[in-house]
Amino acid sequence: VTFDNGRHYYSNVVSLNGGDKSFPRLVNTFVTTGNLNISSPGQFEYTVFDMNGRAITRGRLSQGVSSVSLPFTSMGMYIIEFKNGNTTYTEKFTRK
């Protein structure tokens, strides 16, 4: 950034993509239909939580792209948790 007084300032660059490929990833974090598409490198258990911590749905993913039916219509933010043994990974998504 260059300000009117001629000073230059730089900020840190943080990569948001390209994380750990050993966990499932949401294909899109904005959901407008009743399905959530997930790309999974293997078999994982998943649980979808609302922002109050209540479990909405759960199931098992197989390797490849899976479509998970969302049994709710309320708009808002949700958390999906992926488990494989003792390893857990979470990601958030928005239902629009």
Q: What tokens does 32 get?
A: 């407008």
pLDDT of residue 59: 95
pTM of the model: 0.75
pLDDT of residue 11: 67
- Partnered with residue 37 across adjacent β-strands are 67
- The set of residues, in sequence order, having a beta carbon less than 8 Å from that of 7 and lying 6+ positions away, is none
pLDDT of residue 17: 55
| Mean pLDDT value across the chain | 86
How do residues 43-52 score in pLDDT, each as one tens digit?
999 999 998 9
How do residues 69-93 score in pLDDT, each as one tens digit?
888 778 899 999 999 988 899 999 9
pLDDT of residue 18: 53
